Amino acid sequence: MRLDPLVRPRSIAIVGATDRGGPGRAVMESLGAIGFTGTIYPVNPKYPTVLNLTCYPSLIDLPEAPDIVVFSIRNPLIPEQMRLAVKRGARAAVIYDSGFAELGGDGVKLQDEIAGLAREAGMPVCGPNCMGILNPPARVTTYKQNIMDPAAIVGNVGIVSQSGSVCIGLLSDLRRYGVSLSVSAGNEAVTRTVDYLDYLIDDPNTKVIATFTETVREPERYVAALDRAADAGKPVVVIKVGRSERTQRAITSHTGGLAGSSRVFSELLRAHRAIEVSDLDEMTEVLAVCQGARWPRGRGISVITGSGGLSELILDNATALGLDLPPLLPAERAEAERVIGRITGDGNPFDAWGNGNYAVNLPHAMAVADRSERIDSICYCNDTSNDPVIGQPGRELENVTMLTTAARASSKPHYLMSTRSGVMNRKQIDAMRKEGLVVIGGTRQGLAALDRMGRWAVPANPARPRLAKPQTPLADRLGGGRRTINEFDAKRMLAAYGIAVTREQRAATLAEATLAARALGYPVVLKALSDSIAHKTELGLVAVNLKDEAELADAFARLSARLDAIEPRPADAAFLVQEFVRGGVEVFAGVSRDPDFGLALAFGMGGVAIEVVRDFALRMLPLRQGDAEAMIAGTRGAALLGAVRGGKAADVERLAACLYALGDFAWHNAAGDAEIDPNPIKLPPQGIRCVVVDALIVARPDAGP
Ligand code: ADP
Ligand code: MG
C-alpha cells in the first residue's frame, strides 16, 4: 500500500467538520496556517459551509474522489462513513476517535470491521485512537492540534509514535530540531510503524527517525527496516515501553498487542544498529546531536568545564553510565598545563580554569582535545537560560564565538552543553545552528547522546562464517517426537560441533556403572538419566565426587530408590557415570527462541547468580565476529574469570569458541529447538579446557516429526 495519499494528500475530506471546534476545525485551520494549496472538502449534513468553505452533505456528494478522508466523528458512526469513503474512491483515511481494540471486546470487532473495509479497498489508514499526521515540508497536515508557527516546525526528524502524547511531547519544544513527518499511529489497525519506517527511510526530507513503540507488529519486516535505515545512514531512535512486567500488563490491556521480552528487544535493536533510549529527554538529545553538520565518529568525549566540582559531578555520572571520557595522556597534560596552569584530576572532564585566564585557557583546552586521537567529540559546559536574570551580559555569545572558532579549525564535532536538561538559551542555539553546531543538555542525557551516536557510527561486527553442519545421526533425533533430550544425548549432539563435554558412559546396572567408573578413573559423578527428568538435582538424582567403588555403590542404591519412588517410574530411566570436574568457575549458556525475533544466546555466570543477579549478556543469532568475546567481557561476573584465574586469555578464547559452536548448533537446528541449555559449563582451575558438565535440549512444541 503506497502511503502518499495518507502522508501527503492533495485533497482532504473532513467528515464531521463544524465551525464550533473539534479536530475537524483544528485541521482546517492548520491547513490554512501551513500553506496547504490542495482542496479541502468539509462534510457535514448540518451545514452549508464550514469556515467559509462549501460543506457537502455526504462523502458521496464530493465532486472528486479525495486522497484522504479525515473522520472527526465518534466511533459508532465510523463503519458506515468508511463504507461511503470506499464507495467514493477515497485513497486513505485518518480516524482519531478511541474506543477500539484498546478496549477489547466489542472495540476489537469495530476495529476489525474498519480494517477489513480498508484492506479490501487497499486503503492506508492512520489510527484509530490517534492524532493524525503532520507533514511540514509538503505543507499538509491531518494532525489534530493547531499549528502556531509553521516555519519553526519544518526539519529532518521523522516521528512515528503509537502514543499521541509522545508526539505532543516531541513537538512541544522545537528549538533544536524540526520535523519532516510526524505520525501519531494509534492502534495501527491497518498502517503500521513498519510501513511508516519504510516510507521515512526513502523520504529525502528525513535524516533521523524517532519512534515510540508499545507493540512491534510484523517483526521480520521491522528488523529488515532497521537494517535498511542503517544502510541508508539514518539513525532510528527507539523508545520501547514494556521493560517492567507491570508495564507489559498495561500494554496488553491498552493496545491489544503483547510486549515481547524487553531484554531480547534491546539486544535486537543493538544488533540492527537502532539507538535505544529510555525517555523523551534522552531521545531529544540524540535528535539534537543529529542536527549537527558533523556527527561523532566514535565514542571518545572530551568534556571541558571551568570548574573542578562540576567536573567531578560529570565524571561520577559518566563513569556510572560507562561513557568513554579518556584522561589526558602525560604529553597532552604537559602541553595543557604549559598554558593553563595546574589542572585538577586526570584532565577529563577538563577543568580549564587553571590560572583564571578564561579567554586563553578554554580555546587551548579545546585545541588539546582536538589533537587527541582518542577524542571524537568536544563538549564545552556552560549554563544559561532563555531569559537569564543573572550572569555576565553578553557572555552567552562570547562562548559561542569561542566554540565556533575552535570548531572551524577542527574536523571534530563541537558542542555547547548545559548541565540541566532542557534549560538552554535560544540565542545560543540559533547562533550555533548557523555554524552547523548544536547545544545539548543535561549532562547525563547530553553526553549519553554523544556516546549513542558514537556507537552508531562504529560499523557492526562482520558476519562470521558458520561451522559446517556435521553429519551425525543424532542431529536428526530432534524431530522424533521427543520433547526433551536428556543430558547424554544432548551432549553427544553438542560434541559433534566440537564442544568439549565431560567423559562419561551410560549404565543400566551397578556392574556396568562400576566398570564405567574404573575406565574413567575416580572420582566420578553418578546421575540419573531420562528425557522426562529435566532438573535432576531437585529430585536428588546427582551424586558428585564419588571417590571409590563403595561410594559409587552407595550412590547407586540411593539414586535407584529415588527413581523407583517416581510415579510412574520413567520408562527410559538409566544412569550416567561421568568424570568429576573439580573446582573452577561455573558459567552457563543458553539459547532460547523469542516468538517474534527468533533465536537469542544468553551467557553469564552459573549457579544461583543468574537468578539473583541476572547478570548475563545476550546476542541474537547468528553470532557475528567478536560477539562471543564481547559477551564474555560484557558480563560483570566474567571479571571473576580473570580474578580467579589470573586472566588467562586462553580461557576466554576457549569459552568464546564454545559459544560460537553453540550458536552454530542452534542455528542449524533452528526448526526443532526451543531451548538449548548447557548449564553449567565448567572452567576448571588447571585452565586446560572449558567443559560442558550438564546440558538439556527442549524441542519446540510445534516441531513435527
Ligand atoms: P541438574 O539437572 O540439576 O542441572 P547437573 O548435572 O547440572 O544437574 O548437576 C548439578 C550440579 O552438580 C552442577 O551445577 C554442578 O555444580 C555439579 N556437577 C554436575 N556434574 C558435575 C561434574 N561432572 N563435575 C563436577 N561437578 C558437577
Ligand atoms: Mg544443570
Ligand at minimal distance from the CA of 606 is 1
Ligand 1 closest atom vs CA 542:
9
Backbone torsions φ then ψ of 662, nearest 5 degrees: -60, -40
Which among 558, 531, 529 is positioned nearest to 543, based on CA atoms? Answer: 558
8 A C-beta contact, residue 48 and residue 84: no
The ligand with the least distance to the CA atom of 527 is 1
SS3 523: coil
Answer yes or no: is pLDDT of 151 > 90: yes
Longest CA span, the chain: 102
Q: Name 605's bridge partners.
A: 587
pLDDT of 703 higher than 60 = no
Query: Residue 393 corresponds to which cell in the numbers above?
Result: 551580559
Name the residue with the closest Cα to ligand 1, atom 3: 537
Is the confidence at residue 253, as pLDDT, over 60? no
Closest protein CA for atom 20 of ligand 1: 693
User: Residue 702 — pLDDT band, cuts 50, 70, 90?
Assistant: low
State the number of CA atoms in the 13 A half-sphere of 54 facing the CB: 7
Residue 385 burial class via C-beta count within 10 angstroms: exposed 0-12, middle 13-18, buried 19 and up: middle
Ligand 1: which atom is nearest the Cα of residue 504? 23
Q: What is the rounded distance in angstroms from the CA atom of residue 126 to the CA atom of residue 419?
A: 39
Does the structure show a pLDDT above 70 at 527?
Answer: yes
User: Does ligand 1 come within 6 angstroms of the Cβ of 544?
Assistant: yes
Give the C-alpha separation, 400 to 19, whole Å.
48
The whole-angstrom separation of Cα 265 and Cα 227 is 15
Nearest to 47 by CA among 79, 76, 12, 15: 15
Q: How far apart are CA 614 and CA 612, in angstroms?
A: 6
Q: Is the peptide bond before 330 cis (omega within 30 degrees of 0)?
A: no
Sign of CA dihedral 240, 245, 250, 256: positive
Is the pLDDT score of 153 beyond 80?
Answer: yes
Cα(658) to centroid(ligand 2), Å: 17
Closest CA to 499 of 268, 638, 697: 697
Query: Does 583 sit in the ligand 1 pocket, CB within 6 Å?
Result: no
Residue 256 has pLDDT above 50, yes or no: no
Q: What is the mean pLDDT of residues 48-59?
A: 97
For ligand 1, atom 4, name the residue with the nearest CA: 535
Q: How far is the CA of 487 from the centre of ligand 2 (A)?
A: 9
Beta strand 301-305 pairing with 377-381: parallel
The pocket of ion ligand 2, defined by CB under 5 A, consists of 679, 694
Task: Report the nearest atom of ligand 1 relative to the CA of 586.
Answer: 16
Q: How confident is the model at residue 57 (pLDDT cuts 50, 70, 90)?
A: very high
Helix axes 649-668, 627-634, angle to 10 degrees: 120
**What distance in Å separates the CA atoms of residue 261 and residue 594, rounded to the nearest whole number?**
8
Q: What tens digit of pLDDT does each residue of 298-344 get? A: 999 999 998 889 999 999 999 999 999 999 999 999 999 999 999 98
Q: Which whole-number Å values give the CA distances from 480 to 271, 537, 700, in the listed order?
A: 34, 27, 12
Take atom 17 of ligand 1 and give the residue whose Cα is closest: 544
For ligand 2, the distance from its centroid to the CA atom of residue 365, given in whole angstroms, is 56
694 in ligand 1 pocket by Cβ < 6 Å? Answer: yes
Distance in Å, CA 193 to ligand 2 centroid: 42
C-beta neighbour count of 337 within 10 angstroms: 16
Looking from the CA of 467 toward its CB, the CA atoms found within 13 Å total 22
Task: Starting from the CA of residue 683, give the closest ligand.
Answer: 1
Q: Which atom of ligand 1 sits closest to the CA of residue 535?
A: 2
Please determine, for residue 4, whether its predicted confidence score (pLDDT) is greater than 70. yes
Mean pLDDT rounded to a whole number for the chain: 91
Interatomic CA distance for residues 453 and 287, integer angstroms: 10
Predicted structure pTM score? 0.90
Amino acid at 25: R
- Cα of 577 vs centre of ligand 1, distance in Å, is 12
Q: Tally Cβ neighbours within 10 Å of residue 381.
A: 23
- 535 C-beta closer than 6 A to ligand 1: yes
Rounded mean pLDDT of 545-563? 97
Identify which of 532, 577, 693 to mutate to test ligand 1's pocket (most ligand atoms within 8 A of the CB): 693
Of 451, 441, 453, nearest to 173 by C-alpha is: 441
Beta bridge partners of 505: 577
Give backbone dihedrals phi and psi of 110, rounded to 5 degrees, phi first.
Answer: -60, -45
Choice between 702 and 506, residue whose per-residue pLDDT is larger: 506
Q: Is 522 in the pocket of ligand 1 (CB under 6 A)?
A: no
Tell which residue, 467, 497, 459, 469, has the closest CA to residue 589. 497
Q: How far is the CA of 98 from the centre of ligand 2 (A)?
A: 50
For 136-153, what is the mean pLDDT?
Answer: 96
Check if 580 has its Cβ closer than 6 Å to any atom of ligand 1: yes
Q: Ligand 1: which atom is nearest the Cα of residue 578? A: 23
pLDDT of residue 278 exceeding 80: yes
On the question of a cis peptide bond just before residue 685, with omega within 30 degrees of 0, the verdict is no
Grid cell of 284 as nine digits: 531529544
C-alpha grid cell for residue 601?
544466546
Under DSSP, is residue 516 helix (H, G, I), strand (E, B) or coil?
A: helix
Q: Is the pLDDT of residue 700 over 80?
A: no
Q: Which strands make up the sheet holding 154-161, listed edge to edge?
A: 140-141, 132-135, 179-184, 154-161, 208-213, 236-240, 275-276
Query: Is 536 near ligand 1, meaning CB less than 6 Å away?
Result: yes
- Cβ of 693 closer than 6 Å to ligand 1, yes or no, is yes
The continuous run of DSSP H or E covering 299 comes out as none
Measured from the Cα of 696, ligand 1's closest atom is 2
Average pLDDT of the residues in 230-238: 97
The CA 676 to ligand 1 mean position distance, Å, reads 16
Atom of ligand 1 nearest to the CA of 502: 23
Q: Taking 50 as the threshold, does the pLDDT of residue 704 lie above it?
A: no
Q: Is 551's pLDDT higher than 80?
A: yes
Whether the pLDDT of residue 262 is over 80: the answer is no
At residue 325, what is the residue type? L
What distance in angstroms lies between residue 679's CA and the mean position of ligand 2's atoms? 5
Rounded mean pLDDT, 576-589: 91
Cα 12 to Cα 72: distance, rounded to the nearest angstrom: 12
User: Which neighbouring-strand residues pair with 351?
Assistant: 305
Tens-place pLDDT, residues 365-424: 999 999 999 999 999 999 999 888 888 888 889 999 999 999 999 999 999 999 999 999
Which residues, 6+ apart, have CB-to-CB distance to 136 below 8 Å? 34, 150, 153, 154, 155, 178, 179, 180
Stretch 633-646: mean pLDDT: 68
- Least confident among 181-185, 303-307, 615-619, 656-660: 615-619
C-alpha cell at 328: 589526558
Q: Assess whether the C-beta atom of 525 lies below 6 angstroms from ligand 1.
A: yes
**Lowest mean per-residue pLDDT among 388-392, 469-473, 561-565, 699-703:** 699-703
Q: Which ligand is nearest to the CA of 678?
A: 2
Percentage of the chain beyond pLDDT 70 is 92
Ligand 1 atom closest to the Cα of residue 487 is 6
User: Which of 488, 608, 694 to mutate to test ligand 1, by most ligand atoms within 8 A of the CB atom?
Assistant: 694
In 282-353, the DSSP E strands lie at 301-305, 350-351
d(CA 681, CA 616): 14
